[in-house]
A and B are shown apart, each in its own frame.
Chain A
Amino acid sequence: METFYDVLRRQGITRRSFVKFCSLTATSLGLGSAFAPRIAHALETKPRTPVLWLHGLECTCCSESFIRSAHPLAKDVVLSMLSLDYDDTLMAAAGHQAHAILEEITAKHKGEYILAVEGNPPLAEDGMFCISGGKPFIDKLKWVAKDAKAVIAWGSCASWGCVQAAKPNPTQATPIHKVITDKPIVKVPGCPPIAEVMTAVVTYMLTFDRIPELDRQGRPKMFYGQRIHDKCYRRPHFDAGQFVEAWDDEGARKGYCLYKVGCKGPTSYSPCSTMRWNEGVSFPIASGHGCIGCSEDGFWDKGSFYDRVTQINAFGVEGNADRIGGAVAAVTGTAIAAHAGLTALKRARLDHGTGFDRNGEETGQRRDPQGGRRPAETAAVDQNTGRGA
């Protein structure tokens, strides 16, 4: 029996680096450092779960994001875990040799491997718009998915369809949950998703041998539970009615809210405003451009990136991704109104980074690993954290 730890050691990763990786992963999962030994123990003792990574109609931006995970160590470790199996973009093998690996894993590890899908299958003309290994991608996808334990849908392509499914969708590009209907699918949307989110999701599944808690749309709650708007550092300007009215106006220079120039922050569920990009350096709004809502279903068909959001159908409850598409209970009665207030307060509370309550149940929340740090004003914030004892 080969464990992840064996593999990592064989790849030349030191014990010290391994332990460091475990604490980093615990942090990015919002689990707190106390969970690092649990992760280490799991990786040392559990047999390695093979991961197969397929590519359909996509642009490889998910892979690009993934292999640039902020911490080089996280990247090395996770890639060591994954690249052993099948990823037609990253693997050394090619042609028949590559195909043989796919056949071997699906046969030898039937029902044990995790399938990660980047991109989606086009269904028009019997799938002829995406050929992989001489066959339509849809056939390969269905074949590999048949005996997978769980499926990860990387990015907006696999999750929703993305640009290739935009109207009129001539190739009939279809998100994978519409063709794989008998397996749990973890959607990790974004174009691309944040590298740390990707590594954390895959490490969570490999370490704890289960899928993270998902919202009604199938996204991990720990990363997709809140909107960009909820945690945006420009939020005080929104509440005070201070908007950028036109590009490069006075408001733009002062860093005002970008809602009026099309920011989709109020309708987009993604941890960009808390985790940020490129090692937590920045995210679109911090660079002066509104969010384009790339993590949302059908974002290409929702009008211009510069049109302001005027409809928030059923997007009423802040941070509650579960309610989208469902009925948002009208807050009318006293008891219901009071309950809504208490729920909102609980959502606003910082949960000390465990992500788990006292009973060891997941709370579906994770602590902002940046701790509210804003790069431009780090010094100011550091003085401003913590009050009382």
Chain B
Amino acid sequence: MNAVESRPADELALEALFQGVHATRMRDLPLNNPQLRVEALGFRDWQGARVGALVTPWSVLLTILPGPGGADGGGVRRLSVGCTQVWRFPSGEYEFHGHEAEGLGHYQQCSLFSPALEFESHEAARIAALAALDALLAVPPPPEPRKVSRRGLLLGG
């Protein structure tokens, strides 16, 4: 239980919200992957905002929650559905869709998988989500210089 209790409160709140969604409105969705359950994971501070991932049986999403610095913490704008905010992370720019929910407040998401039917286990979805999250915040290595053969140089191969 200690492991659970040490998880950040906002991550737990997000997870609880979507567990509620799963138990009610999404319960019988034919697109659900029955192997997956709702889990929020990997939330960390990023320039005042909170960035993490959310695995659900219907989608795997990057999620941004406002940081502790007030409702707009970390520049996480409150957006109505249909509006997006472009975020610049070390690995590049990404477009996040805004939404809000009672009990959680506003949040923004960027889809990685939907539906998420290719995952054979919840663990696999977790690994994919965490790998994407780590790569999101990591500076990508510079691309390797392109090897051009002599023929390629002449013929544009």
Residues on A lying within 8 angstroms of B by beta carbon are 229-230, 233-243, 255, 259, 266, 308-312, 315-318, 328-334, 336-342, 344-345, 348-352, 357-359, 372, 374, 376-377, 380-381, 383-389
Structural contact, A342 and B94, CB atoms closer than 8 A: no
Structural contact, A348 and B94, CB atoms closer than 8 A: yes
Q: Is B60 an interface residue (CB 8 A)?
A: yes
Structural contact, B84 and A381, CB atoms closer than 8 A: yes
List 17 contacting pairs A-B, 8 Å CB cutoff, sorted by A.
Answer: A230-B111, A238-B114, A239-B111, A266-B31, A266-B115, A316-B113, A331-B125, A337-B119, A338-B130, A341-B132, A342-B131, A380-B83, A384-B79, A384-B83, A385-B84, A387-B88, A388-B88
Q: Is B93 an interface residue (CB 8 A)?
A: yes
Given contacts A239-B58, A331-B124, contact A337 B131 (CB under 8 A): yes
Structural contact, A337 and B128, CB atoms closer than 8 A: yes
Collect the chain A residues with CB atoms within 8 Å of residue B86's CB.
350, 372, 384-387
Structural contact, B84 and A342, CB atoms closer than 8 A: no
Pairs A-B, 10 closest by C-beta atoms: A241-B25, A341-B128, A316-B118, A341-B131, A236-B99, A338-B131, A341-B132, A310-B30, A337-B127, A344-B112
Structural contact, B127 and A239, CB atoms closer than 8 A: no
Structural contact, A331 and B132, CB atoms closer than 8 A: no
Structural contact, A348 and B112, CB atoms closer than 8 A: yes
In the docked arrangement, what's the CA distance between A318 and B115, Å? 7
Structural contact, A348 and B111, CB atoms closer than 8 A: yes
Structural contact, B110 and A348, CB atoms closer than 8 A: yes
Given contacts A233-B82, A239-B59, A340-B128, contact A318 B95 (CB under 8 A): no
Collect the chain B residues with CB atoms within 8 Å of residue A329's CB.
118
Structural contact, A239 and B114, CB atoms closer than 8 A: yes
Q: Is B62 an interface residue (CB 8 A)?
A: yes
Closest B residue to A260 by CB, please name it.
B29
Structural contact, A308 and B30, CB atoms closer than 8 A: yes
Can you name 5 extra interface pairs (CB under 8 A) apart from A337-B131, A340-B118?
A: A237-B99, A239-B114, A309-B31, A316-B118, A349-B93
Structural contact, B120 and A330, CB atoms closer than 8 A: yes
Closest B residue to A357 by CB, please name it.
B143
Structural contact, A341 and B112, CB atoms closer than 8 A: yes
Q: Is B98 an interface residue (CB 8 A)?
A: yes
Could you tell me how many residues of chain B have their Cβ less than 8 Å away from some Cβ of chain A?
63
Give min CB distance, A231 to chain B, whole Å: 9
In the docked arrangement, what's the CA distance between A235 and B108, Å? 11
Q: B66-94, CB under 8 A of A: which get 1 and which 0?
A: 00000000010101111111111001111
In the docked arrangement, what's the CA distance between A230 and B110, Å? 10
In the docked arrangement, what's the CA distance between A386 and B84, Å? 10
Q: Is B51 an interface residue (CB 8 A)?
A: no
Give min CB distance, A347 to chain B, whole Å: 8
Q: Is B21 an interface residue (CB 8 A)?
A: yes
Q: Is B135 an interface residue (CB 8 A)?
A: yes
Structural contact, A349 and B120, CB atoms closer than 8 A: no
Closest A residue to B33 by CB, please name it.
A316
Collect the chain A residues with CB atoms within 8 Å of residue B80's CB.
377, 380
Collect the chain B residues with CB atoms within 8 Å of residue A309's CB.
30-31
Collect the chain B residues with CB atoms within 8 Å of residue A376's CB.
82
Collect the chain A residues with CB atoms within 8 Å of residue B130's CB.
338, 341
Given contacts A345-B135, A357-B143, contact A318 B112 (CB under 8 A): yes
Structural contact, B82 and A240, CB atoms closer than 8 A: no
Structural contact, B97 and A235, CB atoms closer than 8 A: yes
In the docked arrangement, what's the CA distance between A237 and B61, Å? 13
In the docked arrangement, what's the CA distance between A46 and B25, Å? 58
In the docked arrangement, what's the CA distance between A111 and B9, Å? 67
In the docked arrangement, what's the CA distance between A387 and B88, Å? 6
Structural contact, B82 and A255, CB atoms closer than 8 A: yes
Closest A residue to B99 by CB, please name it.
A236
In the docked arrangement, what's the CA distance between A274 and B25, Å? 27
In the docked arrangement, what's the CA distance between A232 and B113, Å? 14
Give min CB distance, A30 to chain B, whole Å: 15
